[in-house]
């Protein structure tokens, strides 16, 4: 079978996995309601926590995290080693980025929900940990530093997304030696940061208007 078809099939699998709407399914199973009509309208872990309670944040976040982690950390290296692309300058790194993009697009635009999905923060987190765990820890630290004083999940997510490509680029030689080149992931993470921020445009508008909700605080 041609390598192109193998890689394409892996991309379709990554998309379909990324498109599984864990938050939507959980809320639907527990309440019978569509989470897209509740709270912020997002299907991600933060809105699930607002809708069902804080403990439900963890399983949704973890599942969405794994949707990004599994294709990049396990599937891409295995496929690239078994069906090597002779014309790709960095087969494993290139395939990892391709599958990462497919999983992220699946999460943001899932075929199962009419292409109306989440904002991609947890899935990007899984992708980043698979690509470069040191950069992932840096992005997490940025999120915590911004979130704790403000209690704005969206603001922390935007700040963490902005840190992604820089954190990877400057730590890749230390922590991401399993990949042949750092550039595919650097370019992908710049694109991922843009997509995450773009998906948060409504949050940015509410932040500027002073109407964004803080997690863990009741309105005064």
DSSP 162-200: HHHHHHHHHHHHHH-TTSS-SHHHHHHHHHHHHHHHHHT
What pLDDT is attached to residue 217?
A: 56
Distance CA 29, CA 27 (A): 5
Question: What is the per-residue pLDDT across 36-83, written as a single tens digit (0 to 9) for each?
Answer: 999 888 899 989 998 899 899 999 999 999 999 999 999 999 999 999
What pLDDT is attached to residue 216?
A: 66
pTM for the structure as a whole = 0.84
What pLDDT is attached to residue 126?
A: 95
Residues of the chain with pLDDT under 70: 216-220
Distance CA 89, CA 125 (A): 26
What pLDDT is attached to residue 63?
A: 97
């Amino acid at each position: 079978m041609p390598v192109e078809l193998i890689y394409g099939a892996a991309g379709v699998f990554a998309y379909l996995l990324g498109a599984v709407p864990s938050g939507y399914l959980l809320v639907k199973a527990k309440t019978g309601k569509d989470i897209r009509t509740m709270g912020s309208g997002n299907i991600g872990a933060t809105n699930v926590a607002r809708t069902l309670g804080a403990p439900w944040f963890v399983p949704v976040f973890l599942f969405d995290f794994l949707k990004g982690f599994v294709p990049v950390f396990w599937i891409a290296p295995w496929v690239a080693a078994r069906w090597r692309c002779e014309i790709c300058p960095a087969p494993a790194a290139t395939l990892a980025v391709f599958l990462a993009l497919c999983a992220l697009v699946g999460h943001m635009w899932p075929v199962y929900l009419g292409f109306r999905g989440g904002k991609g923060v947890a899935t990007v987190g899984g992708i980043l940990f698979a690509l470069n765990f040191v950069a992932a820890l840096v992005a997490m630290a940025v999120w915590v530093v911004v979130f704790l004083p403000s209690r704005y999940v969206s603001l922390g997510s935007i700040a963490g997304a902005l840190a992604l490509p820089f954190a990877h680029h400057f730590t890749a030689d230390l922590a991401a030696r399993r990949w042949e080149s750092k550039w595919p992931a650097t370019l992908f993470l710049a694109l991922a940061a843009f997509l995450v921020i773009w998906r948060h445009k409504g949050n940015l508008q509410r932040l500027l208007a002073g109407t964004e909700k803080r997690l863990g605080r009741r309105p005064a």
